[in-house]
Amino acid sequence: MTKKTRMLLCIFISSFIFGVLDNGIMIVFGKAIDPWVASFCDDMMMSAGIGNAISDGAGKLTENILMIPLIYFLAKPSNDISHFTVLTLETVGIVTGCFFPLIFLLWG
């Protein structure tokens, strides 16, 4: 596997993990977060936004803690990867990661 391929894979994996954690936190802890937010906010969309901010923050923090060392120590950043490619892989990783935990709702 080339250095560039390893770097691209690390970018995708880190974004995928963010998506899994983001939606996973909402699925697992959403019922606990909702009453807490409802205690100071009556608007459903505001509650959803606050819950989303909590899960996004936790997902991104965990992604950085877990994946940044992997990217920098295993893949060694490559300057020949375009910014567009990085953003595209991050977007695809986040979207697929967000949909992944929803699979478990189909069986529950």
Predicted TM-score (pTM) of this structure: 0.67
Query: What pLDDT is recorded for position 78?
Result: 61
CB 74 within 8 A of CB 6: yes
pLDDT for position 74: 65
List pLDDT tens digits, range 4-53.
Answer: 888 788 878 888 888 888 888 888 887 887 788 778 777 777 777 777 77
* E strand or H helix at 11: helix 3-38
DSSP state at residue 77 = -
- Give the pLDDT score at 1: 77
Q: How far apart are CA 26 and CA 19, in angstroms?
A: 11
Other beta carbons less than 10 A from residue 14's beta carbon: 22
